[in-house]
């Protein structure tokens, strides 16, 4: 096998170049994967545009991309459960396995996690990556690599539903019908929610939400989302309210749309850190507000949901670019991102 591979490297904001770099080799507990499909995430676009997300700063050239699937082409000597030829989805964050969060099942909160495409760790806009055996999951023959790559964003929706403890018969609202909103609403349906309200300001996204199982949609440009959700629920509010738009007003609305004793899950991060929240109402309604950060223990379940057609992730993929055109893909995403739901890089 050749010792080099093609990769898309971000040098500085707006500057991505396709270059040859050394091909990685798997350690004893790792597999080498020929990447086949990688999604473009909002965080990739963020790094592309501004070179940083919060305290994570691109200080040296980096390969972006962390939503990926591919084929195992080599395995380390300690690997038992995977072999050459296996088709796999890659969980991109590998924790230390030793700290308190890791020991207690919340490894997404590990401070020492190594996460693909989070500076200074390289990601998957390239031909080959390595991944530890236990963070690499077989996908069944009836799943495409693109669907495999979509397991990553779907994991956010699954984790949101786990944190929200969605149960059969629940009424939920998903504020925001972007990629994360659309996987969250589908996950909520798969968890048995019988009322799934989607709210967004974009009528095309709402049409897709409807197609993917929303029982009701609310165009927040035309109607007051809080009033409309209350109207739809007979004045009670929903059992669980998900914020996936990453916006200040929708985050504030979660307090208003949830029923007394209900659960709020804040999934999206707004551009502003600190902003006004109706604490009084949150307390008097005795709500639970739960943040979510990435996900843990979601891959096998998310794969099963897609394999069984309980969740449709294909419908979210609206544009495709080959690896050689990652610069164009990121430029497109940065400039006209809202025109697409999910952009996929095919490698």
SS3 225: helix
The minimum distance between CB 318 and its own copies, in angstroms, equals 25
Verify binding: residue 48, its own copies, rule CB under 8 A: no
Residue of 2, 77, 85, 273 that binds its own copies (CB under 8 A) = 273
Cis upstream peptide for 69 (omega within 30°): no
126 versus 255: smaller Cβ distance to its own copies: 255
Using CB under 8 A, pick the residue from 7, 305, 313, 344 that binds its own copies: 305
3-class SS at 107?
helix
Does 190 interact with its own copies (rule: CB under 8 A)?
Answer: yes
When binding is defined by CB under 8 A, the residue of 5, 187, 232, 347 that contacts its own copies is 187
Residue (60 or 273) nearer to its own copies, CB: 273
Q: Which is nearer to its own copies, 220 or 292 (CB)?
A: 292
Size of the chain in residues: 347
C-beta separation of 31 from 89 below 8 A: no
Asked if 105 is part of the footprint of its own copies (rule: CB under 8 A), the reply reads yes
Least separation in angstroms between residue 94's CB and its own copies is 11
Residues contacting residue 281 through CB under 8 Å, at least 6 positions apart: 255, 256
Residue 274 binds its own copies (CB under 8 A): yes
> Rounded to 5 degrees, what angle do the CA atoms 311, 337, 218 make?
55
169 binds its own copies (CB under 8 A): yes
Selected binder of its own copies within 16, 72, 75, 102 (CB under 8 A): 102
Cα–Cα distance for residue pair 70/265, rounded to 1 Å: 32
Residues 203-222 vs its own copies: string with x where CB under 8 A? --------------------
Tell me the site size for its own copies, rule CB under 8 A: 69
**Three-class SS of residue 129?**
strand
Using the rule CB under 8 A, is 141 a contact of its own copies? Answer: no
Of 93 and 327, the one with the shorter C-beta distance to its own copies is 93
115: left (phi over 0), alpha (psi -120 to 50) or beta: beta
Dist. CA 278–CA 323, nearest whole Å: 46
Q: Which pair of structure tokens corresponds to residue 53?
A: 């997300």
Least distance in Å: CB of 58 to its own copies?
19
Q: Does 290 bind its own copies (CB under 8 A)?
A: yes
The one-character DSSP state at 23 is P
CB of 75 to its own copies, least distance (A): 15
Token couple for 6? 């093609």
How far apart, in whole angstroms, are the C-alpha atoms of residue 221 and residue 209? 16
> Does residue 194 bind its own copies (CB under 8 A)?
yes
Token couple for 55: 């305290």
One of 241, 292, 341, 343 touching its own copies (CB under 8 A): 292
- DSSP at 126: B
Q: Which helix (H) or strand (E) holds 153?
A: helix 145-164
Whether 155 and 39 have beta carbons less than 8 Å apart is answered as no
Interacting residues with its own copies (CB under 8 A)? 97-109, 111, 133-134, 158, 161-163, 167-170, 187, 190-192, 194-195, 251, 260-261, 266-267, 269-270, 272-293, 296-297, 300-302, 304-305, 307-308, 310
């Amino acid at each position: 096998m050749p010792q080099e591979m093609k990769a898309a490297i971000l040098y500085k904001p707006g500057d991505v170049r396709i270059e040859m770099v050394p091909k990685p080799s798997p350690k004893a507990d790792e597999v080498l994967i020929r990447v086949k499909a990688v999604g473009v995430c909002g965080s990739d676009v963020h790094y592309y545009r501004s070179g940083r997300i919060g305290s994570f700063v691109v200080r040296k050239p980096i390969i972006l991309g962390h939503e990926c699937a591919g084929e195992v082409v080599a395995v380390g000597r300690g690997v038992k459960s995977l072999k050459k030829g296996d088709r796999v989805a890659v969980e991109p964050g590998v924790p230390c396995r030793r700290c308190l969060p890791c020991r207690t099942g919340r490894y997404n909160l590990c401070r020492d996690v190594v996460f693909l495409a989070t500076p200074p760790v390289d990601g998957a806009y390239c031909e080959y990556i390595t991944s530890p055996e236990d963070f690499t999951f077989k996908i069944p023959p009836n799943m495409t690599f693109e669907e495999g790559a979509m397991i990553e964003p779907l994991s956010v929706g699954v984790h949101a539903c786990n944190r929200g403890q969605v149960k059969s018969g629940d009424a939920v609202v998903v504020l925001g019908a972007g990629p994360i909103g659309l996987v969250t609403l589908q996950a909520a349906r798969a968890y048995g929610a019988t009322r799934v309200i989607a709210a967004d300001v974009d009528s095309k996204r709402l049409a897709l939400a409807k197609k993917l199982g929303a029982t009701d949609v609310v165009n927040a440009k035309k109607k007051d989302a809080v009033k409309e959700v209350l109207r739809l629920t007979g004045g009670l509010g929903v059992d669980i309210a998900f914020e996936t738009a990453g916006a200040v007003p929708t985050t504030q609305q979660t307090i208003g749309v949830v029923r007394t004793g209900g659960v709020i899950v804040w999934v999206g991060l707004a551009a502003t850190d600190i902003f006004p929240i109706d604490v009084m109402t949150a307390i008097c309604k005795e709500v639970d507000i739960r943040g979510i950060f990435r996900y843990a223990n979601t891959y096998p379940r998310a794969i099963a949901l897609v394999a069984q057609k309980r969740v449709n992730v294909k419908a979210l993929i609206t544009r495709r670019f080959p690896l050689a055109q990652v610069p164009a893909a990121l430029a497109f995403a940065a400039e006209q991102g809202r025109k697409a739901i999910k952009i996929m890089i095919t490698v």
